[in-house]
Each structure stands twice: as C-alpha cells, then as structure tokens.
Amino acid sequence: MSIDRRRFLETTTAAAAGLSAGALAPSAAAKTPPPPPAAPEPPAQGPRPSTLDGAAWRPPANPRYASQMKIGLFTWPFNDKPLSWVLQYAQSIGLQMLEVGTGNDPGDAHCPMDALLADAGRRRAYLQEFAAHGLGISSFSCHGNPLDPRPAVARRTNEVYLKTLRLAEMMDVPVVNYFSGCPGDDKGGMRPNWVTSLERSSYVEMLKWQWEERVIPYWRVAAAAARRHKIHVALEFDPGYAVYNFSSLQRLRDAVGGEYLGCNLDFGNIFGMGVDGPALVRKLGETGVLFNYHAKDAYLDPHNIQINGLIDVTPYHEVLNRSWAYAVPGYGHDDLYWRRILATMKNVGYDRVLSIEHEDRTMTPEIGVRKAAEFLRPLLLE
C-alpha cells in the first residue's frame, strides 16, 4: 500500500504478532401492512439478525420488505474538524449514521475513547450529541496492521482494538471495523510482506509460515475477544493484508471459529482486483458475512490497464497515470451498476448503512461526501 494512500497513514501505527496472552483478554422493525391470512409476515428490519447474530444467512421471506438502509459517513477525512462541525455537516446533507474512528489508522479525533470507557455519564452525553442532530453511530473503526512484525507497534494497535470492542459493547454499537493484518517474513524481517505470487518456493513457504505462525494464532485470540463482547468485527478487504477477498476471509473464519468475523466491503479497494460488485455482494450475503459497507467507487482507466494491467503501485496522487483510482460513487461506475449492487444487497438481506468514505483526490471531502449522498439517495430501494 502506498504511504500516501490516506493522509493519516503517514503517522499510523499497527499491531502485530507480538501480542501477549494477557492482551486479548437495530433499530425497531419496520412492518409492511398486514398480509392476507395465508401469507407469511415480512421479516423484521434494522440490522439484519441473520448477519449480525453470526447465524447462517437466509434470504428474506418476502423480497419486497420495507428497506431500512441508511446513508452514513466515515468521519476520518474530517479529522481536522471538531465533532460538533462533523455532526452539523452530516445533518445538513441529510445523513443518518456516522462511522467513528477510535484510533490506529483513522485516528481518534472524534472519539475520546479512554474518557468514554471510564465514565457512563460521558457516554450518555456523547450519544445525546449525535441524537440531537438526528444521527446514530453505525460502527467504530480502528483499522491497523495487527500483524506488523514490530512488537511495540503491534502491542499499541492491539490495545486499541481491545478497547474499541469494550466501548462498542458499552454503547450498543454492533460492528467494529478492522484490518486482518500483514506479517513480515520468517527470517526476522521488520516490514510487512504481502505475498501475491507463488512463482518461487520461497514465496509459498513464507505464505504458509505467515498463516500458520502469525495470522491464525493472532486471530484465534482476537476472534475470541469479539465473541466475548458479542461485537461483530468487519475485516476490510484490501490489498496488502492477509484477508483481502472472499476466500481468504473464509479461510480465516474456518481456522479460528470466526462466527463474529465478517467483511467490511469497500469496492474502492478491490475493483482494482477485477471483482464484480453484485456477484461479491451475493456471495457475502449467502454466507452471512456482510457486516458493513463503505460506499466508495474506483475508476478503472482502460488505457492504462491495457498497457500495465491492474497491479499498480503508481503513487495515488498520479491519478492520470494509474490503472485505477479511488472515486466518489458514480464517478467510477454508472448508476445502473450501483442499482444492481444495492438491489443485490436488499435481496441478500443487508439492511444497515452505506457508509461513505471519501478518498477521491479530485475533490475535497466536503464536496465529495455531499455528491456521494446525492448520488446514492435516489438509488435506495424503499
């Protein structure tokens, strides 16, 4: 991942395999009018219980149920603004939910986590501040690299993860967003090393070592912490991490008993890997692992792809020279494509929030988020 993907990545810390054993210690249902006596009642709305209870997914009994999908915002692009400004801005453009960073990569500019953990009165006042603007908290986010080979960095990020789980439980926030992590190599390397090729036997051996000695041991304990707090951890698919697609997520869940582990789906990160949006939504829905959704797009540049393919480490700010670039929804794929994504979400039972994350370098966050909300709102299925 490029060091300048996000402004905050210049100063981030990540957490790793060096964790100690002691370290890991919905809204009301909207009903359709009563059906005829012989017809089944539509399923309850709000966060889909089939997804957020860790149970096997089942399609809605009636696909014409009333949708409760909300449009929200991941707040980190506004870390230079106080929470009061963010709340007023979100209200002014008709948003309903906020995804709030608690530390690590997204920072904690809008969440005084230690103070909230220590004081029930502060927690009540914090929630009341959101409610006064007609807003709720959809999730907490503490993205970082919990498998970074530097033990001190690892320890700090893992501590933020554990605190975030505690705070989410205290404040009835159902989802914590995170990265799965990327280890170093088995020879004492101090930089993360993401294996993308099986061309050499050394790559194969390193990938095997990473999963068996770092990824699975860490997540056995990290998943147990999520289970203990009954908080669903949504791992973001992103190149550069052990979990970056559906099959790697399933591998992790199978290895660690991860009923509380699922996906934070962000197409901005993975359109550049060639995935089809509706197909992936359907697969995640069928297995009950779609826990959160970042509303973000990516523009695929056909000219650059024809020359260089999709694997691209061109700096993010060189948009015209990249094969793909982050985009506001609608500026990478057209509204028909997005309609297909949202219709598939409804049919697989995802009914929570479209959390706008702004990383489009062609416009400011204030303009980009507003344009994203304006684009998405008429596409929502009622």
Q: What CATH code is carried by the domain that includes residue 334?
A: 3.20.20.150
Flag whether 7 is in a domain: no
Total tally of structural domains belonging to the chain:
1
Mean pLDDT of 212-235: 98
**CA 151 vs CA 208, 225, 324, 367: distances in Å:** 21, 20, 34, 40
Predicted confidence (pLDDT) at residue 109 exceeds the cutoff of 50: yes
pLDDT level of residue 51 (50, 70, 90 thresholds): very low
pLDDT band of residue 188 (cuts 50, 70, 90) is confident
**Whole-number pLDDT of residue 202:** 94
- pLDDT at position 52: 56
Distance CA 329, CA 256 (A): 35
What's the confidence (pLDDT) of residue 64?
A: 61
Higher pLDDT pick, 222 / 36: 222
- Of 341, 307, 311, residue with least CA distance to 324: 311
354 found inside a domain: yes
Mean of the per-residue pLDDT values of the chain: 86
pLDDT at 169: 98
Rounded to whole angstroms, the Cα distance separating 379 from 382 reads 9
Give the closest residue to 166 by CA, choosing from 113, 240, 245, 219. 113
The structure tokens listed for 194 are: 């993401």
Q: Determine contact, residues 259/284, Cβ cutoff 8 Å.
A: no
Average pLDDT over residues 26-41: 36
Which phi and psi (to 5°) does residue 327 adopt? Answer: -145, 155
For residue 15, tell me if it sits in a domain. no
10 Å Cβ neighbour count for 31?
13
pLDDT tens by residue, 349-374: 898 999 999 999 999 999 999 999 99
Please report whether residue 233 resides in a domain: yes
Predicted pLDDT at 381: 78
181 assigned to some structural domain: yes
Region 138-147: mean pLDDT is 98
Query: Do 126 and 143 meet the contact criterion of CB atoms below 8 Å apart?
Result: no
Distances (CA, A) of 260 to 163, 173, 202: 17, 14, 33
Residue 68's pLDDT is what?
83
Is 49 among the domain residues? no
- In tens, the pLDDT along 287-299 reads 999 999 999 999 9
For the cut 50, the answer to whether the pLDDT of residue 12 exceeds it is no
Q: Which domain holds residue 325?
A: 61-379
pLDDT-derived band of residue 54, with 50, 70 and 90 as boundaries?
very low
| Cβ atoms 149, 191 nearer than 8 A | yes
Residue 101: what pLDDT?
98
Q: Residue 38 — pLDDT band, cuts 50, 70, 90?
A: very low
- Region 59-72: mean pLDDT is 71
pLDDT band at 19 (very low <50, low <70, confident <90, very high): very low
> Does some domain include residue 132?
yes
- On the question of pLDDT at 40 being above 70, the answer is no
Identify whether 363 is part of a domain: yes
Could you report the per-residue pLDDT of 250-302, keeping only the tens digit for each? 999 999 988 999 999 999 999 999 999 999 999 999 999 999 999 999 999 99
- Write the single-letter amino acid at 355: S
Q: Which residue has the tokens 């190599």?
A: 185
Segment 160-186 shows an average pLDDT of: 97
Res 63: pLDDT: 55
Q: Which of 38-52, 104-118, 256-270 has the lowest mean pLDDT?
A: 38-52
For residue 62, what pLDDT is reported?
A: 60
Cα–Cα distances (Å) from 112 to 83, 90, 163, 367, in that order, read: 11, 20, 12, 27
- Distance from the first to the final alpha carbon of the chain: 38
Residue 14: band (very low, low, confident or very high) from pLDDT cuts 50, 70, 90 = very low
Q: Looking at residue 67, what is its pLDDT?
A: 74
What is the 3 state secondary structure string of the chain?
CCCCCCHHHHHCCCCCCCCCCCCCCCCCCCCCCCCCCCCCCCCCCCCCHHHHCCCCCCCCCCCCCCCCCEEEEECHHHCCCCHHHHHHHHHHCCCCEEEEECCCCCCCCCCCHHHHHHCHHHHHHHHHHHHCCCCEEEEEECCCCCCCCCHHHHHHHHHHHHHHHHHHHHCCCCEEEECCCCCCCCCCCCCCCCCCCCCCHHHHHHHHHHHHHHHHHHHHHHHHHHHHHCCEEEEECCCCCCCCCHHHHHHHHHHHCCCCEEEEEEHHHHHHHCCCHHHHHHHHHHCCCEEEEEECEEEECHHHHHHHCCCCCCCCCCHHHCCEEEECCCCCCCHHHHHHHHHHHHHHCCCCEEEECCCCCCCCHHHHHHHHHHHHHHHCCC
Asked whether the beta carbons of 87 and 97 are under 8 A apart, the reply is no
